[in-house]
Homo-oligomer: A and B are copies of this chain.
């Protein structure tokens, strides 16, 4: 039903923007990210789609009238894999082309901006779906202090106006699993049942920087020591409130002045946690704030919390799920499953405006957010074929 060669050739061309080894370095609003979006807009025009960039740089390729929206994102992590987001966008482009060629149902295509959270969390789709006010987004800073407003101004010359969600009947996002489940089970496809919720906030600990040779241990207010006690304390204290699928991560750490002969006066770090249950997310937050507060107290550190960003758990639309499930059963009989998504996706935001569903293909070794990220070509093609059949139904 699809043109696999055309799909693969576009997917590999997209990989060339910000290419680094086998991976990509294409963070939101970087030069390669913007160049990739301009290239994608050209492919969309070739496919007869009307292209539109909205005010935050989300790129839409539109069919006239009512249509089904498909897509994902083309920005990457600071050190990202070549398929994260890219697969879903190029798969959507191919399905839109193939369906049009068959005179099938109209399919529009989207690449959302800053899904990887250089600023907030899935920022582009959050603004588009109304989950995040633009003014609020504009105030967000990346880890080097650049504001979202400054960053999106780099795409201002491309902006061609807003896109109303009411023109779409639903949204389907195809994505690599980014986890080990399908790969370990030797399966080809995963039909997503729901997406876990996420919470993310920046924490600043301020102590007293001083000479590392003349400041006795008992007089120190060492911010790195504070971070250490928090990380170890969370290991112990969160165990009691979480399930095996709950996760928490300190992924970003910035130390000042960051010199080996100075007691560190300040640490800024990211605190992120995820769970499928809304109440559990709240209980985890209580424990996290308790532990951080207690350590700050013990060490005499000043404590400051950034805004609590995040998204609630989201259930997929049963109707769209069913169409994906029956298509999956045709393409890979006995080699697909229903499963939750531990990763956050743009579909989480779009669910505020439209019925949404997601389809996963395996990640080799479960590796993602890493240059080594990859998926077998046959599985990529099976994914696109499944999307095409789900649309044709």
Contact A179 B215 (CB under 8 A): yes
Q: Which residue of B256, B260, B272, B368 is within 8 Å of A210 (Cβ)?
A: B368
Contact B370 A215 (CB under 8 A): no
Contact A247 B116 (CB under 8 A): no
Which residues in chain A, 209-223, are within 8 Å of chain B measured between CB atoms? 209-219, 222
Complex: A345 Cα to B378 Cα, angstroms? 65
Contact B255 A261 (CB under 8 A): no
Residues of B within 8 A of A210 (CB): 366-370
Query: Across the two chains, which residue of chain B brings its CB closest to A373?
Result: B211
Complex: A216 Cα to B248 Cα, angstroms? 9
B interface footprint on A204-247 (CB within 8 Å = 1, 0 otherwise): 00000111111111110010110111111001000000001111
Query: Across the two chains, which residue of chain B brings its CB closest to A247?
Result: B217
A45 on the B face (CB < 8 A): no
A70 on the B face (CB < 8 A): no
B interface footprint on A245-258 (CB within 8 Å = 1, 0 otherwise): 11111111111111
Contact B260 A270 (CB under 8 A): yes
Complex: A228 Cα to B78 Cα, angstroms? 24
A344 on the B face (CB < 8 A): yes
| Stoichiometry (number of copies) | 2
Contact A258 B264 (CB under 8 A): no
A54 on the B face (CB < 8 A): no
Q: Which residue of B217, B251, B264, B367 is within 8 Å of A260 (Cβ)?
A: B251
Residues of B within 8 A of A79 (CB): 209, 256-257, 262
Complex: A370 Cα to B212 Cα, angstroms? 12
Residues of B within 8 A of A222 (CB): 249
A313 on the B face (CB < 8 A): no
Which residues in chain A, 181-223, are within 8 Å of chain B measured between CB atoms? 196, 198, 200, 209-219, 222
Query: Across the two chains, which residue of chain B brings its CB closest to A230?
Result: B228
Residues of B within 8 A of A344 (CB): 213, 261
Residues of B within 8 A of A135 (CB): none
Question: How far is the CB of A285 from the nearest CB of chain B, in Å?
Answer: 16
Complex: A104 Cα to B324 Cα, angstroms? 95
Contact B228 A249 (CB under 8 A): no
Question: How far is the CB of A205 from the nearest CB of chain B, in Å?
Answer: 13
Contact (A253, B253) CB under 8 Å given A77-B259, A245-B216: yes
Contact B258 A211 (CB under 8 A): no
Contact B369 A78 (CB under 8 A): no
Contact B177 A214 (CB under 8 A): yes
The 7 closest A-B pairs by CB, nearest first: A179-B214, A260-B270, A228-B231, A212-B249, A214-B342, A213-B343, A228-B228
